[in-house]
A and B are shown apart, each in its own frame.
Chain A
Amino acid sequence: MTATETAVSTPDIPLPATQMHRADGTPRPCNVCKWQTPDPTDPARGQCTVNRHAGGGVWKRWIRDAINTTCSRHEEGKLSFRDHV
């Protein structure tokens, strides 16, 4: 199959708000945020771990461009491995 990116999630059912958004040249990029962890394969991308629930679950979101993406919960720093997955 030749892949396309035209489809969307199920129509008419609202998706939860996600914090991150693209911001070219942002001074608060995901790649220096404490909630970010690198993509498993491509170092240009990343994973956001800010979504955590009380039971200890960590619901990751893929960051397409870790340098030009940010969100309102940006915090510089680094978490211990114990706080990641």
Chain B
Amino acid sequence: MTANTLNYRGKVLNFTPENPAEANIPADELHEHLQNPSTERTRRLKARCRWKHASAGEFVEKGVQAGIERMRLLTESHKSTVGQPEVIRRALMLKHLLDNATLVLQPDEFIVGYHAEDPNMFPLYPELSYMAVLDYLKTDYAPQPAAEAAAIVDYWKPYSLQSKCERYFDPIDLQRGYQVSTMEGPVFASGYNSVVPPYETVLEDGLLARIKLAESHIKHARSEMETFPWNATTGLPWIEKIDNWEAMIIASKAVIAWARRHARMCKIVAERFETNSKRRAELLEIADICHRMPAEPAKGLKDAVQSKWFTFLIAHALERYASGFAHKEDSLLWPYYKASVVAKSHQPMTHQQVVELMEMERLKISEHGAGKSRAYREIFPGSNDLFIVTIGGTNGDASDACNDMTDAILESAKRIRTTEPSLVFRYNKINRASTLRWVFECIRDGLGYPSIKNDELGVAQMLEYAKYSKTGNGATPEEARYWVNVLCMSPGLAGRRKTQKTRSEGGSAIFPAKLLEITLNNGYDWSYADMQMGPETGYAVDFKTFDQLWEAFRKQYQYTIALAIRCKDVSRTMEIKYLQMPFVSTLDDGCMELGMDANELSEQPNGWHNPITTIVAGNSLVAIKKLIYDEKKYTMVQLMTALKANWEGHEQMRQDFKNAPKWGNDDPAADDLISKYYEEILGGEMGRNINYSGGPVLPVGQAVGLYMEVGSRTGPTPDGRLGGEAADDGGISPYMGTDKKGPTAVLRSVSKVQKNQKANLLNQRLSVPIMRSKHGFDIWHAYMDTWCDLKIDHVQFNVVSTDELKAAQREPEKHHDLIVRVSGYSARFVDIPTYGQNTIIARHEQDFSANDLEFLNVDL
């Protein structure tokens, strides 16, 4: 509980609400009073939004169902295009889908377009993982008719990415990977994916111009092939390029035709059915936009937002499934904001109308359904999917990138209060104060976003990875400043080329807590699977020194990380052969220039993999070293006996292990070993693996909801944790409730890990009274500047009281607007299982003491 006053530098600081009206709101329902949609229209749209939150593998809302339309049309096309080049087949599949897909137009909406036959539905992807679709067939939300769906899965099984990849692995290795206890399931077994579509080319050029480019490349290629003398070494490569360009043309024409079907639909509804004159005029305006977008370059902000939405639907849901919403939204839309709001030359509008438009975009994303596999319906509890938008940071010339579009995006997020999309703010000390105030307003309202990334570290990382470019065409210094988070945490380039196109480049996870558990047991998993999960590296009871344990852990980690990266690269190889993305390829200047598919062309390496449950293992290593090898207070036999008994009958021993030094308290007794573990093993060993793109794979420590899932699959651990309890909730966060020396001690611990890391998620929970007081912004701002000076990569915040969280547990129906930050994403608290809710409540709510404020050197 936070004190309401604090003596600091001779003053008494009073932490009462900055807004006096809040004094009359009960503390346990504050968040139900914070939404403030900018118009009645967005209030209505939010009230009727068809949310698709998943939790514990199931959909929370009734009526959500898998659609069959995409599966059916995909299958029809696949059967009718036998014999054609694979990339052409993929383009024809998209064309057949878009030519025949049901269009959806809903009341009140201005941004149009959906990716399934009904807004309560979402598409499935039998061409990716047959197991993922088979799982859907066993649920209450299976696609209908069920018999047809089953026949479609049966048809696709031999052609699926999963089947294409499985034959290159030992079945036991697959069995281990599929459990999601030592590693995240392989891309090919889940179909989970991420992409950074180059929206810039669509908005700046329009698809008609891209088609012309492809046509001119084909013309040039044909003339090159027809020259004398014939040279096979230079002539034959044109064949594949011609196929790719032709596929791009087919895909682009199909997308234009699909968008124009929307235009015709809106026109028909306006002219024949709509009785409200204002809405009729608006539908005609939408029709005009959809006729031109994305065929032509965007001229105003409405054009840009609609064109972006159509592109999103194709790249993330129709051509192939991909999570994410990666783009540098404020920079991308800024030219169109200037045209519409400042110059008023195209689609004139006010700043407040931009805020409304951004609220509408947030609600479109909130309604978007993802046909994710069960694993991914489990690991983002309380949310839909990972939709992450990046804003802030710096421009290519290192100037402040914050602008009025940035502010509109932030204001819309604060007003409408939705869990998605999440925002990432690239923090740079030159960012203007007015925008930072909006960032703070969102955070202190408890949205959990923006999460904050260190702008300069991201830039440096892009330049470092550019050194490994196989084409010698990695990011330039200017391009390196145009980075976004690909998903929750990892930076990658945005822009017209060199963006990440597939999760087989970077993504997926490894779980050190489980790896430590099996390390203690000769690679055997006694607590979950009851099978050998890794190499036989000896029993802990036989390790004479801590170094023997350390090296055994290293071997388990090496085995698992190599398997995980191999899974991704085998997937990549098959994606190149069978899962071409001609539409995404159209958008990339590199693919267009070189006639290459987006899966294949890699100009900027971006290899990463996520260690999750890291601190449970780190704290356990510290406790083992101290109590068994250094102080010899207990023997390893005693520890193993206690663990096998889930500490039952060994309570004093458990307390000793719990009380051993813990990460996050600026205590060298924990931090020295844990820093070494991060840099030498997690990063050092991972970095020895080179992926498809030729660069090292580096760790992006984070957690999403996997800290719960993997925690429940991990037995008791030597940090004093009971079997099945959740693991740590960040990539570098202290274990919940164990950071007891204040927020600045956490920062000092975290700053000690610098080498061999790509990113690390820091989850912090801040005091509600302090943040909502008039001193809140100044304290947060000073905290952020200190965080930046310490070269820490990331931080995200919860600002919500325990009283309110517990009230929501008691009466969930009264707390639908209570949003919390889980890890890398935000969730509706009442849509999270009780198990997960308790982990949020257990996080230490950080007060700021006078010593903390002195460390931050904040003048209040």
Contacts and interface: CB of A to CB of B under 8 A. Distances in A.
A29 to B, nearest CB: 13
B172 A5 contact: yes
Interface in B692-717: 708-709, 711-713, 715
Given A1-B559, A5-B531, A10 B640 contact: yes
A65 to B, nearest CB: 12
B60 interface: yes
A49 B724 CA distance: 10
A38 B189 CA distance: 15
Given A57-B725, A81-B56, A14 B178 contact: no
B541 interface: yes
B836 A85 contact: yes
A9 B541 CA distance: 11
Interface in B643-689: 644-646
A85 B131 contact: no
20 contacts: A1-B535, A6-B532, A8-B522, A8-B524, A10-B541, A13-B541, A39-B178, A39-B179, A40-B57, A40-B178, A40-B374, A40-B378, A41-B132, A42-B178, A53-B724, A59-B724, A81-B60, A84-B57, A85-B56, A85-B378
B725 A13 contact: no
Contacts of A60: 528, 712-713, 724
Interface of A: 1-11, 13-16, 18, 37-43, 47, 49, 51-53, 55-62, 81-85
A43 to B, nearest CB: 4
A52 to B, nearest CB: 8
Given A40-B375, A85-B378, 8 more contacts: A4-B532, A7-B523, A9-B524, A41-B132, A60-B712, A60-B713, A60-B724, A85-B56
B176 interface: yes
Nearest to A6: B532
A62 B833 contact: no
B709 A57 contact: no
Contacts of A57: 712, 722-726, 835
Size category of the binding interface on chain B: 35 or more
Contact of A58 (B170, B179, B712): B712
Contacts of A15: 526, 644
B58 A13 contact: no
B834 interface: yes
B160 interface: no
Given A5-B531, A14-B644, A85-B836, A41 B185 contact: yes
B170 A3 contact: yes
B180 A82 contact: no
A53 B179 CA distance: 23
B520 interface: yes
Contact of A13 (B55, B172, B637, B646): B637
Given A42-B178, A61-B528, A82-B833, A7 B536 contact: yes
Contact of A56 (B189, B374, B838): B838
A62 to B, nearest CB: 4
Contacts of A56: 834-835, 838
Interface in B498-548: 520-524, 526-532, 535-536, 539-541
A59 B708 CA distance: 11
B11 interface: no
B190 interface: yes
A1 B715 CA distance: 25
A39 B731 CA distance: 25
A21 to B, nearest CB: 11
B178 A41 contact: yes
Given A41-B180, A85-B56, A55 B725 contact: yes
- Give the 4 A-B CB pairs with smallest separation, nearest first: A59-B724, A3-B172, A84-B56, A40-B375
B373 interface: yes
B644 A3 contact: no
Interface in B717-776: 722-726
Given A59-B723, A60-B724, A11 B374 contact: no
A71 B629 CA distance: 41
Contacts of A8: 522, 524
Contact of B529 (A6, A49, A62): A62
Contacts of B641: 13
A11 B834 contact: no
B136 to A, nearest CB: 9
Interface string B250-267: 000000000000000000
Interface in B822-860: 833-836, 838
Contacts of A40: 57, 178-180, 185, 373-375, 378, 709
B150 to A, nearest CB: 12
Given A11-B539, A55-B725, A81 B58 contact: yes
A16 B645 CA distance: 6
A13 B640 contact: yes
B225 interface: no
Contacts of A11: 539
Contacts of B528: 60-62
A43 B189 CA distance: 12
A37 B724 CA distance: 15
A58 B685 CA distance: 32
Nearest to A52: B724
B574 interface: no
B524 A7 contact: yes
Contacts of B224: none
Contacts of B185: 40-41
A2, A4, A7, A16: residue with the most chain B Cβ atoms closer than 10 Å: A7
B57 A43 contact: no
B272 interface: no
